[in-house]
Amino acid sequence: MSRPFAWERTYPPGLTWDVSPPEMDLPAHAAACAAAHAGRVFMECRGTEISYAEFGQKVAQTAAGLLALGLKPGEKVALYLPNTPYHPYSFFGVLKAGGVVVHLSPLDAPRELVHKLSDSGARVLITTNIGPMLVGAEKLLAGGVVDRLIVGDEGAFGAVPGLPLMPVPEGNPAIVNFASLWEATLPAAWPKLVPTDLAVLQYTGGTTGLPKGAMHTHATLMAAVTIYNHAYEGQNPDDAREPHRVITVLPLFHIYALVVLLLWQIKRGSTLFLHLRFDAEAVLRDIEVKRATYFPGVPTMWIALNAIPGIEKRDFSSLKQVASGGAPLPVEVAVRFERLVGKRIGGGWGMTETAAAGTGHLMHGLFREESVGLPLPGIEAQIVSLDDPARILPIGETGELRVKGPNIFKGYYNKPDETAKDFVDGFFLTGDIGRMDEDGMLYLVDRKKDMIICGGFNVYPRMIEDAVYEHPDVEECSVIGIADEYRGQAAKVFIKLKASATEFSLDELRVFLADKIGKHEMPSALEFRDALPKTPVGKLSKKELVAEEVAKLKETKHG
């Protein structure tokens, strides 16, 4: 495809496609931001304010403490953290000490944690003393999965309503109090970093196999920051450089929040209103009382706000930017909030492999609600044949979306064959099926992979199926995504029982799965079948099940 691209011609005046990411490592980025905005509030957490100057100091002290513990260049350190100040301290501290961050999710089931730790080779785990998380971390230590725990005291940032805090363990040399890291002397020189160094292993999955570690370098993540900043400044020149007050409910261990809420916002000198979990009234207080200017959420959050009695009387006037991602936002909810807020709810498409940056709706100008918007600056998108991913299809034809840009990951950790399979002519094959119109708008019509997006989290049917197959009465099973008014999508399990086995309830199945999959992966529906659909060669087929559920949904809507 030649310049100007179709989407480039649709960009509004002031927005250009070309971007120039700085050649900078992430700790240098953090240090520069801390110095530039030293007097501003970096983060507010449960009543505790942390300045940019303190943020910069704590990152350096954390890095010094890790070096004193013997962290080696390139060593993997796993972060098993919710939204807490320990996350940015640890994230940048590990990198400044020359290490590599491995992100784990508090929603991960024990076996998922074991896989990610074993696959990455991380032997050091940083966590918090929130009861269930510390208990899980101690089990990993006792089981020999990790060699050392570093535990932060969450109480240092104020009370944690509804969550039990445990004392940080003492007396075990393998368990380190996070605060003790800050007692180390800063080194005379820091480990040398270059932008092409591996920075983060961000785990993602698919319909086959176990989660894979997507390798992001300092350069790919800085490129994503540059892309988002360039897109925003190009569309909002009047307030582009003003710092935001940002509602930070989305988890920082997720690629979208990491890039858009942490790495980008520190560049702007924004203040992050940090929340451990979503609470609709707390979010409204951020907007009405603290005058938040930016709220990126997922559909479940907008739906929950929509359900609050008298929501139309609340004051949203402080918001300058709002966004919804992770799953399609119901049109009626989007329309209502756009009327209340007076701003278009931004959205788009991105992946772990693209460092979240992919496509986005314009904040002003052409908008088609059924699309995922235009390719963001610096990103080239093409639709290619499903049979031959090297053959580019004309405008309007349906095929697989492939993308190229400075933000694209460098491959899957220790999986060269899978990496090679997903790149053609320098483009990453996304697995998403769609088309592009004459204005460069992209429309995604299907997923080559059967991933389910539940409340903004990626849920992989194969992971659920593998766990269901452990039930002694299950002969065959298939998992698909079904529509869920609150979470966007949820998992439904279809089961064929073994001969003479008796049916069980959904609640009984969920109890059986409790230690095998994460809470966000739990199925919301269960159906028993005498037989499950199969392909001519005998493989289980999901398309018939999906078609049935779509037909049921249409019948419900029109009946």
In DSSP notation, 63-78 reads HHHHHHTTPPTT-EEE
Beta carbons of 305 and 340 less than 8 angstroms apart: no
Q: Residue 336 pLDDT > 90, yes or no?
A: no
List CB contacts of 357: < 8 A, sequence separation 6 or more: 223, 224, 227, 228, 259, 350, 376, 379, 405, 407
> What is the average per-residue pLDDT within 245-269?
95
Q: Residue 332 pLDDT > 80, yes or no?
A: no
Q: Give the pLDDT score at 449.
A: 67
Beta carbons of 30 and 63 less than 8 angstroms apart: no
pTM for the model: 0.86
User: C-alpha angle 525/529/531, rounded to 5°?
Assistant: 140
pLDDT > 70 fraction of the chain, expressed in percent and rounded = 95
Q: Which two tokens stand for residue 205?
A: 């999955």
Q: Residue 339 pLDDT > 90, yes or no?
A: no
Q: Which two tokens stand for residue 31?
A: 């240090």
Domain pair 218-387+401-447 / 452-558, same fold: no
Q: Residue 1 pLDDT > 80, yes or no?
A: no
Q: Give the pLDDT score at 550.
A: 87
pLDDT digits (tens, 9 = 90+) for 108-123: 889 999 999 999 999 9
- Nearest of 221, 464, 463, 494 to residue 350 by alpha carbon: 221
Q: Name residue, tokens 């398309």.
A: 543
Distances (CA, A) of 110 to 84, 105, 516, 556: 21, 11, 7, 38
Q: Name residue, tokens 């069980």.
A: 504
List CB contacts of 232: < 8 A, sequence separation 6 or more: 240, 321
pLDDT digits (tens, 9 = 90+) for 291-315: 999 999 887 788 788 778 888 899 9
Q: Where are the domains of the chain?
A: 26-193, 218-387+401-447, 452-558
Query: Can you give the C-alpha Rg of the chain in angstroms?
Result: 23
| Distance from C-alpha of 125 to C-alpha of 132, rounded to nearest angstrom | 15
Confidence grade of residue 242 (pLDDT, cut at 50, 70, 90): confident
| Distance from C-alpha of 383 to C-alpha of 376, rounded to nearest angstrom | 16
Q: Give the pLDDT score at 207.
A: 41
Distances (CA, A) of 261 to 1, 90, 94, 225, 228: 33, 16, 19, 10, 11
Omega of the bond leading into 4 within 30 degrees of 0 (cis): yes
Q: Residue 454 pLDDT > 80, yes or no?
A: yes
Range of lowest pLDDT (64-73, 199-208, 399-408, 496-505): 199-208
Tell me the range of 409-423, 440-454, 469-483 where mean pLDDT is highest: 409-423
Q: Residue 330 pLDDT > 70, yes or no?
A: no
> What is the average per-residue pLDDT within 521-536?
89
Name the E strands within 37-196: 41-45, 48-51, 76-79, 100-103, 124-128, 148-152, 175-177
Helix (H, G, I), strand (E, B) or coil at 50: strand
Beta bridge partners of 447: 432
Q: Residue 424 pLDDT > 70, yes or no?
A: yes
Q: Residue 3 pLDDT > 90, yes or no?
A: no
Distance from chain centroid for Cα 109: 17
Q: Provide the residue count of the chain.
A: 559
Q: Residue 523 pLDDT > 80, yes or no?
A: yes
CATH architecture of 218-387+401-447: 3-Layer(aba) Sandwich (3.40)
pLDDT digits (tens, 9 = 90+) for 121-134: 999 999 999 999 99
Confidence grade of residue 451 (pLDDT, cut at 50, 70, 90): confident
| Distance from C-alpha of 297 to C-alpha of 302, rounded to nearest angstrom | 7
Q: Residue 536 pLDDT > 60, yes or no?
A: no
Kindly indicate whether the domain formed by 452-558 is annotated with CATH number 3.90.870.10: no
In DSSP notation, 458-493 reads EE-HHHHHHHHTTSTTEEEEEEEEEEETTTEEEEEE
CATH architecture of 26-193: 3-Layer(aba) Sandwich (3.40)
Q: Give the pLDDT score at 208.
A: 47
> What is the average per-residue pLDDT within 158-184?
95
The mean of the pLDDT values for the chain is: 92
Identify which has the larger pLDDT, 353 or 303: 353
- Nearest of 266, 281, 274 to residue 248 by alpha carbon: 274
> What is the average per-residue pLDDT within 214-239?
93
